[in-house]
Amino acid sequence: MYRPEDLSSLERAILGVLSIGLPPSRAAGSDTFRIDHVTAVVFGLAETGQQHVYLGPDGVHITEDFRSTLRASIEGLAEKGLVTYQMAGMPAAAGGFEEGIELDMVNPDEHPVLLDRYLGQQCMETLFNIPAVYPFLMERYTASGEVWRRLREGGYAT
């Protein structure tokens, strides 16, 4: 059994972000709902107080260096049994897709499945306790709830 303090700060950020319940980015109408984008912003804010540190020039897509680091951290979480990969070959949930990006666990809408929800919730609470992270993460959490409400009203998952 793992505790948040047993994980790296990026692993905690990944699990915490997975716990906020992001909707598919295309359904939300914005790539700012992508798991990689939200994790990059949260990690940047937590580590440096700057939200654009790990984002490219467009302010939305992550840098290649961060993408590699993120992939390695997700693979580490998978080895620990805390996340698992999405099933390959399934149609992507509504969401933007960048040409040239492999369909893997960092795909905008195919993020890993969180296996330890309790640990994920603890990591999310840890993130909410970081003053620089709180406003951004709360905004994504609130906006996600609105998108999910709209999707359910439109018949999604019924």
Helix/strand/coil (H/E/C) assignment for every residue in the chain: CCCHHHCCHHHHHHHHHHCCCCCCHHHHCCHHHCHHHHHHHHHHHHHHCCCCCCECCCCCCECHHHHHHHHHHHHHHHHCCCEECCCCCCCCCCCCCCCCCCCCCCECCECCEECCHHHHHHHHHHHHCCCCCHHHHHHHHHHHHHHHHHHHHCCCCC
Among 137, 139, 117, which Cα is nearest to 46's? 137
What is the predicted pLDDT for the residue at 107?
52
Burial of 70 (0-12, 13-18, 19+ CB in 10 A): buried
Residue 150 counted as domain residue: no
User: Is 15 within a domain?
Assistant: yes
Q: pLDDT tens across 110-145, in order?
A: 568 889 999 999 999 999 999 999 999 999 999 999
Q: 48: domain range? A: 4-145
pTM here is 0.84
In this prediction, residues 17-44 reach a mean pLDDT of 90
Ranges of beta strands (E only) in the chain are 83-84, 113-114
pLDDT mean over 43-61: 97
Model pLDDT for residues 96-115, shown as the tens digit of each residue: 344 433 333 345 445 688 89
- The beta strand positions in 7-146, using DSSP E, are 83-84, 113-114
Distance between CA atoms of 139 and 28, rounded to whole angstroms?
Answer: 14
How many domains is the chain partitioned into structurally? 1
In a domain, 151, yes or no: no
Q: What percentage of the chain exceeds 90 in pLDDT? A: 63
* CA count, 13 A, side-chain hemisphere, 59: 3
